[in-house]
Chain A
Amino acid sequence: MSASIEMPVLKDMFDENGLARDAHSADVQPIYLDYSATTPVDPRVAAKMIPYISEHFGNPASRSHPYGWTAEKAVENAREEVAKLVGADPREIVWTSGATESNNLAIKGAANFYSEKGKHIITITTEHKAVIDPVRELERQGFTATYLDPEPNGLIDLEKFKAAIRPDTVLASVMFVNNEIGVIQDITAIGNICRENGIIFHVDAAQATGKVEIDLEKLPVDLMSFCAHKTYGPKGIGALYVRRKPRIRIEAQMHGGGHERGMRSGTLATHQIVGMGEAFKLAREEMVLENSRIRKLRDKLLHGLETMEEVYVNGDLEHRVPHNLNISFNYVEGESLIMAVKGIAVSSGSACTSASLEPSYVLRALGRSDELAHSSIRFSIGRFTTEEDIDYTINLMKSKIDKLRELSPLWEMFKDGIDLSKVQWAAH
């Protein structure tokens, strides 16, 4: 603490006793630990993008004048950068408006194109809504689906996956890295099973780029979704990898001018594409160093929080990206916890579901109780997180959890040795 107080900004975050101040009591921006919801745009990415918004404007599909040509060249350079990060051929990269669209296009596009081969789809209950909801939509259109539960550590049991395969299974969709708990699935093994059974394999890699190595030359994956804004690029741009050898076909979901070789029509946002290319280039160049730095920070955070009683890490710690730490604080209610930690910007569950008070469906799928699911916090660490940020967070969490537990009748009962599962609650 004494070292960190010398930091001019951090100074404002602590009171005269060195205790953490709440964000609303001091005029200080909270510390951002929500990199899995979205990352800030790297300043180097922003610098590359801005000329393409203001000066090099032009519709890339306009072939008749140089405004269009410059834009097209930039778009193709960016396509190469995206392809390079994931070991793909640039011709296998289709631009989209983001991972949600990529997932919709991959799942509906492949299921519809190959529907004569079968109408059964396998996916996982811990997938992002942008995978689950398109599959549900296909169910309404006459497909059937199996939603596999992962093991309590968040990983898929390969035998259970094999057992879910039916003769009419046409498509499987499994995410690379989970957005809430950061666990990494064994994509190679699952992909091989799919290959052996002639199943198209889609992978949502929105949370994986820049965090795990992706080599599509080796990975047995047919379709893979990406987006820029989880990897220090801009929002509103993504890509879908569509394998050429063996060639995978998809039905377009957005029809029009026939852009992206007919797979995705619509005017491309040149500056955003340029931003995605630059962001993926930086990810490729800096991934190894960055991950080891982030791992140190995550381990420090984990060790700091583990000194408290009754904290539970959600998801496997070994098969996991270092950027993510998801922890449940027992006997503390979720919403009051969020109120208490305003000094840091974190998520309780996925950003996309945090508007509702439902417990995280991902944690529920791991078998966590509603209470533990509600009292979970996802800390996600990124490029601009400092060691001081982690120190501050540990101190803040300790003091706030202590305070809330002092308020909690459940904590009191736990300390008195009462088995809460045997209590007759006056439910209301």
Chain B
Amino acid sequence: MSHIYFDHNATTALDNSVLEAMLPWLRAQSGNPTSRHIFGRSARDAVENARAQVAESCGAYSSQVIFTSCGTEANNFAIKGMASHKPASQILTSAIEHPCVTRPAMAMQQLGFISRQIAVDADGKVAIEKLKQQLSAPTSLVSVMLANNETGVIQDIASIADMARAAGAFMHSDAVQGLGKIPLNFTDLNVHAMTLSSHKINGPQGAAALVLDKRIDIEPLLHGGGQEKNLRSGTENVAAIVGFGAACELAAARQKSYASHTKMLRDQFESGLLNINSAVNVTMFGNKVARLANTSFFAIDNIEGETLVMALDRKSYAVASGSACSSDSTEPSHVLLAMEIDPDTARGAVRVSFGLDNTTEQVTRFLVTLKDEVLRLKQLTAIAA
């Protein structure tokens, strides 16, 4: 495939060194880590080594890392598992969370909890004053993502966690977009639990983790064989976990170069985008506050985001119109609606997210294609009108 990939916030290609680390566990005689014979023990060692790598990459202890099958599972586990150890009360999730945070919070309503959203401001940052008021009601859990997958906007999690703790609530953060892109330290983040995912950092699909302060009680989501110290039953996905560990080590080692490289590309892209044509009006989202260096989220007046994405796809560029999970629906991005962007503008939203494998030349050529496509689509709309 000759496609140029600018959709790194959705998923990333497996790094070769990660694949190399995984291959023996995919091909060879790999045992069940619970077995006591040599095949089992070596699989166990591989899982524990990966656990140390994950812990190291985010300033946690190995004992705090619980492996799960995907970020969705880790978020469900955190939200349902932690809240159920508190009396039924409100669960607060930010209005820009991924559905795998908001939906489990809503599911807890069956058990008497109340799921409420935390508003964000026009830049996509959590509205701290409003949150303070909300926290005056009994609260079991607060969940706010570290960095948003669409806008890339980074929240001040440590301060929000202070507020949550002062209100007697557990604090969780979905940090899947932060790992490898910004410095990440579990202790500094001040949360009780955070979610990490492998396939966002050039690791394989099939592995993720909940990093958990073990001093708190959590109810397992999966009951059974008692793996992961009874917190997550099910035979460990050894190959994927090994890959996740290797990817974490890699992500931590090159976080700085990732940030500087993608920032250079994004700056190049955004200055080009803003000067694409005097007749083209571009709206940028989240660009006035701290955001991930690799992410650019924008809309072009009178062009549907979905239409532009398809047009760019035909020209071999992979970009996104919103989060992957909602890209087959035509609803405008819930993140932009939460930022009170008007729905018509929001429907134009396109996300470009860069990775280390992208180059200046790719961005240069992309800008040319983008200009052509935008002008062509403008003309079509003009004729239609």
**Which of A's residues lie within 8 Å of B, judged by CB?**
23, 29-30, 32, 34, 37-38, 40-41, 43, 46, 49-50, 53-55, 57-59, 61-68, 97-101, 103-104, 128-131, 133-134, 136-137, 227, 229, 234-237, 252-259, 265-272, 338, 342, 345-347, 351-355
A64 engages B309 (CB within 8 Å): yes
Which B residues touch A253, using CB under 8 A?
A: 76, 221
- Distance to closest chain A CB from B309 (angstroms): 5
Which residue of chain A is the closest to B103 with respect to CB atoms? A255
Q: Complex Cα distance A98/B3, Å?
A: 33
Q: Complex Cα distance A268/B205, Å?
A: 7
Which B residues touch A32, using CB under 8 A?
A: 29, 31, 39
Q: Complex Cα distance A267/B208, Å?
A: 11
Which of the 9-residue segments B177-185, B222-230, B288-296 touches chain A? Answer: B222-230
A133 engages B223 (CB within 8 Å): yes
Which A residues touch B223, using CB under 8 A?
A: 104, 129-130, 133-134, 136-137
A59 engages B10 (CB within 8 Å): yes
**Cβ contact of A101, chosen from B103, B199, B234, B325, cutoff 8 A:** B234
Q: Is residue B240 contacting chain A, with contact meaning CB distance below 8 A? A: yes
Which B residues touch A131, using CB under 8 A?
A: 224
Q: Is residue B19 contacting chain A, with contact meaning CB distance below 8 A? A: yes
Q: Is residue B324 contacting chain A, with contact meaning CB distance below 8 A? A: yes
A64 and B98 in contact, given A37-B35, A129-B233, A354-B36 (Cβ under 8 angstroms): no
Q: Complex Cα distance A346/B104, Å?
A: 41
Q: Is residue B313 contacting chain A, with contact meaning CB distance below 8 A? A: yes
B313 engages A354 (CB within 8 Å): no
Q: Is residue B265 contacting chain A, with contact meaning CB distance below 8 A? A: no
Q: Is residue B282 contacting chain A, with contact meaning CB distance below 8 A? A: no
A354 engages B35 (CB within 8 Å): yes
Which B residues touch A41, using CB under 8 A?
A: 26-27, 30
A345 engages B26 (CB within 8 Å): no
A272 and B313 in contact, given A63-B327, A67-B5 (Cβ under 8 angstroms): no
**Cβ contact of B306, chosen from A64, A237, A354, cutoff 8 A:** A64
**Cβ contact of B19, chosen from A53, A103, A137, A227, cutoff 8 A:** A53
Interface residues of B in 68-103 (CB under 8 A from A): 68-73, 75-76, 98-100, 103
Q: Complex Cα distance A269/B325, Å?
A: 15
B237 engages A235 (CB within 8 Å): yes
B222 engages A345 (CB within 8 Å): no
Which residue of chain B is the closest to A38 with respect to CB atoms? B32
Q: Is residue B54 contacting chain A, with contact meaning CB distance below 8 A? A: no
A271 engages B204 (CB within 8 Å): yes
Q: Complex Cα distance A355/B113, Å?
A: 38
Q: Complex Cα distance A258/B100, Å?
A: 9
Q: Is residue B114 contacting chain A, with contact meaning CB distance below 8 A? A: no
Q: Mark B304-318, 1 if CB is under 8 A from A, else 0.
A: 001001100100001
Q: A64-B306, A133-B233, A267-B70 are in contact. List 8 more A-B contacts (CB 8 A).
A: A30-B39, A65-B313, A101-B234, A128-B225, A136-B223, A236-B235, A255-B106, A269-B70
A254 engages B72 (CB within 8 Å): yes
Q: Is residue B22 contacting chain A, with contact meaning CB distance below 8 A? A: yes
Q: Is residue B167 contacting chain A, with contact meaning CB distance below 8 A? A: no
**Cβ contact of A267, chosen from B13, B72, B224, B318, cutoff 8 A:** B72
Which B residues touch A256, using CB under 8 A?
A: 72, 75-76, 98-100, 103-104, 325
- Distance to closest chain B CB from A202 (angstroms): 14
Which residue of chain B is the closest to A135 with respect to CB atoms? B223
Q: Complex Cα distance A40/B29, Å?
A: 5
Which B residues touch A234, using CB under 8 A?
A: 26, 237, 239
- Distance to closest chain B CB from A179 (angstroms): 10
A97 engages B106 (CB within 8 Å): no
A54 engages B14 (CB within 8 Å): yes
Which A residues touch B38, using CB under 8 A?
A: 23, 29-30, 342, 345
- Distance to closest chain A CB from B167 (angstroms): 25
Which B residues touch A338, using CB under 8 A?
A: 36
Which A residues touch B211, using CB under 8 A?
A: none
Which A residues touch B36, using CB under 8 A?
A: 338, 347, 354-355
Interface residues of B in 14-66 (CB under 8 A from A): 14, 16, 19, 22-23, 26-32, 34-40
A53 engages B327 (CB within 8 Å): no
Which B residues touch A346, using CB under 8 A?
A: 37
Which A residues touch B13, using CB under 8 A?
A: 54, 57
A229 engages B34 (CB within 8 Å): no
Q: Is residue B320 contacting chain A, with contact meaning CB distance below 8 A? A: yes
**Cβ contact of A30, chosen from B12, B37, B204, B310, cutoff 8 A:** B37
A59 engages B235 (CB within 8 Å): no
A345 engages B37 (CB within 8 Å): yes
B103 engages A351 (CB within 8 Å): no
- Distance to closest chain B CB from A377 (angstroms): 12
Q: Is residue B384 contacting chain A, with contact meaning CB distance below 8 A? A: no
